[in-house]
Amino acid sequence: MRLHGLRRLRISSHHVTTGVTMIQADDTAADRPAANASVGLRTYLDGVASIVKRVPAAWVRCELHTLKVGDRFVGMEFIEADGDGKQIAKVQGGCWPAVWRRIEGDFRAAGLTLTSGSQVMVKLDANLNPTYGFRVNVSDIDLTFALGDLNARMQAIRKHLQDTGVWDRNRNLPRPADFVRVSVIAPAGAAGLGDSQSTADTLAAAGLAEFIYHEVPFQTRDAPARIVETLREIYRQCRAEPDRHCAVAIIRGGGASADLAWLVDQKLAEAVCRMNVPVMTGIGHERDRNLLDEIACIPCDTPSKVVEHISSTITRSAMVGLRAYESVRASVAGALSDHRAAVAVTSAAVDRDAREAIRVADRVVRAAATGLEPGARDLLDQTHAAVTAALDTARGSARYRREAAGEAIQGLRMEIVATVGAKLRPLDLGTERALSEVRTRLDAVPQAVTADMDRLLAQIRADAARSAEDAGSAITGLRRQAIVDARQAVDVCRSAIATIQDCADALHPRTVLAAGYAILRDAAGSPLTSLRSVRSADIVAAEMRDGTTHLRNESQAQTEDQRA
């Protein structure tokens, strides 16, 4: 290098660390900048690049902060954070599309995907380009590290939950015998949510269950905290209304299995374990098994199976209620039959006791009046006939029977006493004792009959009122259940009709043609369904979505040419 205008030069050895020999003038020349006393930026960066190029490639533990997949280059940004979450290192880099396809294929085969926020073990090669600046080239990403990191976190969470004694808390809760209100936690617009929501809406429209939806992201860094916050809100609602809240459903439809890694969180798992109502899970595909499935009370494979479990439980509860109603109705019918029999027996007993009381009174009166005048005997016979007629008349109504019989017997007693007293006054004292005996027996007759009839009427009224009330309640419940069952049957039929209609639309020729297929027909317009029929046809009409064209059979054409 040619130097001009400098009297003395000194090579500074401590500037060689960058790989460029820096030429520094002495103190007298430092105050006068000269064009040949500096180097160009390209020359400087080329010197630094030569040093960076000698740094060997290394496996580095870091976090994939951003990922942008492009057609020409896959851009990545890696960061490292300390224990407090503060960023302490950051670098830009990436890889070529061919390298990315190989790495992505390996992860996909293992059921994982690389997304922003993934902890990775990446092989980096430092590179400084004077035009594009410093970046790191990615040559590989360790798959085993990603799997091992996820498994290690899951094992640590399992141990923490078992040590704190909450591992089995939600799993041991009694499963609901019926569902009244269910809180559903799901990502907004999830496919699994839409599939299961149609059945849930049918149950809600029939008034069988209430579904409350909470839209929470599942594939972001703050997803666990958002889900925990929602669970705490539901927890407070369950404490305020313990009789209404039945379960919490955490659902997410199909997608990449690596997305489930966001749900491997200690606070989230502990919140699920401590929920005061059963937790249902339907996350991912049937093959996916995550940590929340292990600790939930009712783990299901998919969102559809969650709502199927709810629907089947409600149906089973309704069937149990229907059987209970049938049992109650049979019991009511038996009770009514027994009641009617008891009333008949009681009525017969009352009638028998009344007749026996009158017969005893008649016998006593006749025995006491044996020695009376013929006029007194005739009066006694007339009185007996009147009592018998009064008893027959009273049989139409229990209350009327009691009042009429009491009045008739009381009148009879007063009339007999008066008549017998008038007839026996001239007689001796022996006859007076007979009269006293007649009075005593006659007083006992209406009292016994009245007491028996009062007890019978009270029992009949109480039994009739209770039977009517039970029968009314049973009939009302049956009517409501019949309406609910009818609505469910109509909904099932509508769903089946819709499914059949969808299948029919999918198989319609217009749909087949729109999908890019063709329908081959012969000259008569009949569809050709086999290779043999196509080969034997002279002209084949190919119907496509944008029109119809005619094809001539090549073998048939050759035969005609040969004949010609």
Spatial distance between the Cα atoms of 116 and 67, rounded to a whole number of angstroms: 6
pLDDT 10s digits, 290-339: 889 999 999 988 888 999 999 999 888 888 877 877 887 787 777 777 76
pLDDT 10s digits, 398-442: 454 455 555 655 655 565 556 545 544 544 444 444 445 545 555
pLDDT 10s digits, 10-61: 333 333 333 333 334 344 444 555 555 678 898 999 999 999 999 999 999 8
pLDDT 10s digits, 450-503: 565 567 667 766 766 676 676 667 667 766 776 777 677 777 777 777 777 777
| DSSP summary character for residue 13 | G
Residue 170: pLDDT band by 50, 70, 90 thresholds? very high
Whole-model pTM: value is 0.43
Residue 152: pLDDT band by 50, 70, 90 thresholds? confident
Question: Cβ distance 306 to 200 under 8 Å?
Answer: no
Which helix (H) or strand (E) segment holds residue 133: the answer is: strand 133-141
| DSSP summary character for residue 152 | H
State how beta strands 58-69 and 74-81 pair: antiparallel
Spatial distance between the Cα atoms of 413 and 10, rounded to a whole number of angstroms: 156
pLDDT 10s digits, 95-117: 999 999 999 998 888 767 787 77
Alpha-carbon distances, residue 308 vs 246, 276, 280, 304, 554 (angstroms):
16, 23, 12, 6, 56
